[in-house]
Homo-oligomer: A and B are copies of this chain.
Amino acid sequence: MVLKVYGPLFASPKRVLVTLVEKGVPFETVHVDLPTEEHKQPPYLELQPFGQVPVVFDGDYKIFESRAVMRYVAEKYRSQGPELLGKTLEERGQVEQWLDVEAVNYHPPLLNLTMHVMLAPVMGFTPDEKLIKESEEKLAQVLDVYEAHLSQNKYLAGDFISLADLAHLPFTDYLVGPIGKAYMIKDRKHVSAWWDDISSRPSWKEVIEKFRLPFLN
């Protein structure tokens, strides 16, 4: 029974996909058509009541929220591939800390930039310029903390790659690409080296080559 991941073309599901590839876990994908709002209609809402991607099935077992699925996969397949949760209680604590930093500090302003810079022209709404400015300022402050932290640590949770790093991949890929603000990464020496490291992993290259939003090609 292979894992089934819904919505592979979109960013949050790619957190799950990159984890599966890292751990060498076979999976299938199911397209969810966000542009036609398939995710806001009953058949999909019965799978994921908040109308968000991804939802993942492991046989009959259902789980959603991308970072929760990452943890589930890393725990279930702990004995294969890289140890993405840390080896000790203390390392796991740092992985959890930086996973939560990504979710609550890093992601919200970056999601605003994704919506209002990258998606507004595609979806046909007027971008909120004030929100763009505030979000870039907020993200810059967060990245300044990352810069100081990564000057002392190769990866976010310490000297080992973990889920915390991988969770940053999909939306940062938008930031340096279609959002057009690569300078936010490149102008920070240690953040830039970290980004080059994690984004050049074969797992991530495989995910973005296989699952690409058509309108970003």
Contacts and interface: CB of A to CB of B under 8 A. Distances in A.
A175 B129 CA distance: 31
Interface residues of A, number: 32
Contact of A67 (B76, B100, B105): B100
B99 A68 contact: yes
Given A49-B148, A49-B149, A105-B50, A97 B63 contact: yes
Identical copies in the complex:
2
Interface string A61-81: 101110111011001100000
Interface in A74-126: 75-76, 89-90, 92-94, 96-97, 99-101, 103-105, 107-108
Given A50-B101, A68-B99, 9 more contacts: A50-B105, A65-B96, A65-B101, A67-B100, A68-B100, A75-B89, A103-B103, A103-B104, A108-B108
Interface of A: 49-50, 61, 63-65, 67-69, 71-72, 75-76, 89-90, 92-94, 96-97, 99-101, 103-105, 107-108, 142, 145, 148-149
